[in-house]
Amino acid sequence: MSRTVSLHGMTPAEIFQSGIENIAEIESVALAVKWRDGRITTGWSDASVADLALMLMLLNERYRVEHLQAVAAD
């Protein structure tokens, strides 16, 4: 039986790094997306490893830009 672990609070970079470190143990990837209107969509991804990596890097970049701007504004 598989178990589900929340990744809430982890940055995309942390999630991606964990995947790299444990690549031999990964069988498939489940994604969840929280939209601005509060909806959450989830499911198994058939995206290529390269597409998943690109998505995570883009999300990480956005996270960093938004948080660095918030810190600079304080």
Task: Please write the tens of the pLDDT for every residue from 52-73.
Answer: 778 778 877 887 888 877 677 7
pLDDT at residue 37 in the model = 94
* Domain count across the chain: 1
pLDDT at residue 43 in the model = 81
Q: Does the reported pTM lie above 0.75?
A: no
Question: Residue 68 domain-assigned?
Answer: yes
Q: What is the mean pLDDT of the chain?
A: 78
pLDDT-derived band at 45 (thresholds 50, 70, 90) equals low
pLDDT-derived band at 34 (thresholds 50, 70, 90) equals confident
Instruction: Provide the domain limits for residue 52.
Output: 12-73
Q: CA distances (Å), 58 to each of 1, 4, 5, 46, 63, in order?
A: 32, 25, 23, 19, 9
Question: Residue 7 domain-assigned?
Answer: no
